[in-house]
Amino acid sequence: MSLPDNLSTTPAGPEPELVTRARGGDREAFAALYFEHYRVVYAYLLVRTRNRHLAEDLTQEAFIRALRRIDAFTWQGTAFAAWLTTIAKNLWLDELGRGRTRLETPVAEFDDPRDARRGTGALVANELEAVETHETVHAALHCLNAPQRHCVELRYLSQLSPEETALAMGRTVGAVRALTYRALQKLRWSAGRVSE
């Protein structure tokens, strides 16, 4: 989605002001909040769905719900992104409850077999290796507590910056760095025990 000419990705004012304006019906203020937080919400859902299209759909639905319920949002010491992430989490849980989501990993479409540069066997082998790596990482993450796991997923699997992760988790950047450090230490310790 492209930005309107008169709207940048950086909010015109501080976030509380944008939320207040959005609650008053200011469409540009809500659009600024959308462009500011889209990546965080999408990354959160992508980690859980492992499906780009479903994550995009759920992200759009999260913002639609946020727009409908913007009057219900109140500042309680947490960031607006934390509220959006809660909406996204509820959508994901609803999706799981409907049983429509299956944990599938799509395999790349097969190329033309006459193309000698890339054989189908090599493509399938690469895809299977990626699936195994992904499953190994997710299994390793189970040694972490929930906040550590969420932090590592956002930082490394969704490739968010410490600032974006802090926004998504409703924490400070310092807290995110501390969580990341402790999580990586625990993962190293866990990996060391497995190799012994």
Q: Could you tell me if 43 and 160 are in contact, meaning their C-beta atoms sit under 8 angstroms apart?
A: yes
pLDDT in tens, 104-146: 545 444 444 445 455 555 555 555 565 555 566 666 777 888 8
Q: Rounded CA gap, 187 and 168, in Å? A: 22
Q: How sure is the predictor about 23, in pLDDT bands with cuts at 50, 70 and 90?
A: confident
pLDDT at 172 over 60: yes
Q: Could you tell me if 82 and 169 are in contact, meaning their C-beta atoms sit under 8 angstroms apart?
A: yes
pTM of the predicted model over 0.75:
no
> If you average pLDDT over residues 19-37, what whole number do you get?
88
Which residue did the predictor score with more confidence, 114 or 172? 172
pLDDT at 60 over 90: yes
Whose structure tokens read 């974006």?
164
pLDDT at 14: 65
pLDDT at 125: 58
Q: What is the mean pLDDT of the chain?
A: 74
Q: Rounded CA gap, 72 and 84, in Å? A: 12
Q: How sure is the predictor about 5, in pLDDT bands with cuts at 50, 70 and 90?
A: very low
> If you average pLDDT over residues 18-24, what whole number do you get?
87
pLDDT at 3: 39
Q: Rounded CA gap, 155 and 143, in Å? A: 17
Which residue did the predictor score with more confidence, 151 or 116? 151
CA–CA distances in Å: residue 20 to residues 3, 4, 176, 189:
22, 21, 27, 46
> Could you count the other beta carbons within 10 Å of the beta carbon of residue 21?
19
Q: Rounded CA gap, 103 and 165, in Å? A: 24
Q: Residue 38: what residue type?
A: Y
CA–CA distances in Å: residue 141 to residues 23, 69, 174:
38, 34, 21
Q: Which of 13-27, 35-49, 53-67 has the lowest mean pLDDT?
A: 13-27
Q: Which domains does the chain have, with CATH numbers?
A: 9-102 (1.10.1740.10), 120-190 (1.10.10.10)
